[in-house]
A = this chain, B = another copy of it.
Amino acid sequence: MAYFNDVPKIKFEGYQSTNPFAFKYYDAEEKVGGKSMKEHLKFSVAYWHTLTGDGGDPFGAGTALRPWDHLSGMDQAKARVEAAFELFEKLDVPYFCFHDVDVAPEGSSLKETNDNLDVIVAMIKDYMKTSRTKLLWNTANMFTHPRFTHGAATANDANVYAYSAAKVKKGLEVGKELGAENYVFWGGREGYETLLNTDLKLELDNLAKFYHMALDYAKEIGFDAQFLIEPKPKEPTTHQYDFDVATATAFLHQYGLEQDFKFNIEANHATLAGHTFEHELRVARTSGMLGSVDANQGDTLLGWDTDEFPTDLYSTTLAMYEILKNGGLGRGGLNFDAKVRRGSFAPNDLFHAHIAGMDAFAIGLKVANKLIEDNFFETIVNNRYDTFKSAIGEKITAGNTNFKELEQHALQLDTIEVKSGQVEKIKAQLNQYLLRVNEL
């Protein structure tokens, strides 16, 4: 059965196309820097936003019109799987991601919930046999149900903690069953609302123990996915523990977990934390911990996570630069953790939105690759830091000097001529690169 009958298979038609159901930039087989776009851009559909989400917001009911609205329970869950693979195929996306509750409804007991999940997972596995689309990552939703009001692995209640362990245990099993590349931890309610009633130390100790047990269990069952932490500040819990990449890095080091995790970095979470998307990517990259990406964008005039589909080409270009310099994302991918606006409620908008995002990243890829081929940023940086390549500078970077020697050096210096950073010139050049993408 087809769910998106109006929508054809989305094909590449080039930047002059006015067909809304065509890619203008994303050409899967086109080679960029020696690899095909398909190899560079491991796009993933986020099941929760695209298949499960209903467009509700704190002030209004769901608006989404979906071909499975007339169904409910397991019937609806199955219809969604069918629709999902139709959508994957029409967009030709290589990956998808899901939380447990996205794909199968909760039952009246944990047992029943797991049973529901088993049915759907089997169905998904069956679809995957003939589909190009694979599982980028799965995760456990430990924030929607009221039992998680005060957290999951950082809950104030041991039963909730145990329940959460059972959920992640199941998640690891499901991930193994479906061949997931990664397993993600986004601490939906791992944080605190106010210190007035919180034992922060106990909660963090418990969280670390939880991660250690998860690692042990994955090893035990032979599930070799990359574990990823997805940092996010402020929402839904006022003080989320994984505020940003640096915060989570501190935690991993403090609990001896830094070898076992990488990061899943979301653009909108970066800006909510007061950083740029590229900042978070760079911080993770320099630590060797850039694992995967939640490709979306936010509205910096708003104070919450809007999870918009990415269309800002400055952002996609600088993100792709970081990814290319990282040698790609390894087992990670570009997951559209993005939802159509509440006002974009028609089924077709799901396609328009993914096309917008995929083209935006294809443009970013092409521009970033050109920047790298031209050594654009590298030339700027090499020139700007050139004094570190010889004499006292070389000693500094080699760790072969000390304060006394440096003071002697400083005392004999006349005035120091620092160089202009030339940011305005660089930004203008970047605009030139961007606007010539159609020539690439």
Contacts and interface: CB of A to CB of B under 8 A. Distances in A.
A165 B413 CA distance: 13
Given A159-B413, A247-B246, A403-B168, A301 B271 contact: yes
Interface string A283-308: 10011000000000001111110000
B359 A165 contact: no
Given A163-B413, A313-B431, A413-B110, A57 B58 contact: yes
A110 B118 CA distance: 43
Main secondary structure of the interface of A (DSSP, over half): helix
Interface residues of A, number: 155
A423 B194 CA distance: 8
Contact of A197 (B160, B195, B426): B426
Given A404-B169, A416-B147, A195 B385 contact: no
Interface string A386-430: 011001110011010111101101110101101111111111101
- Max count, chain B CB within 10 A of own CB: residue among A148, A198, A236, A246: A246
- Max count, chain B CB within 10 A of own CB: residue among A243, A287, A300: A243
Interface in A42-80: 57-63
A248 B303 CA distance: 22
Given A197-B421, A213-B403, A300-B300, A413 B341 contact: no
A249 interface: yes
A130 interface: no
A59 B435 contact: no
A111 B411 contact: yes
Given A15-B435, A62-B146, A165-B410, A57 B236 contact: yes
A10 interface: no
The 8 closest A-B pairs by CB, nearest first: A303-B303, A158-B393, A165-B406, A343-B421, A253-B253, A356-B428, A300-B300, A166-B410
A326 interface: no
Given A156-B419, A234-B274, 12 more contacts: A15-B432, A60-B144, A156-B418, A166-B410, A196-B377, A202-B388, A213-B406, A244-B247, A253-B254, A271-B301, A353-B425, A435-B435
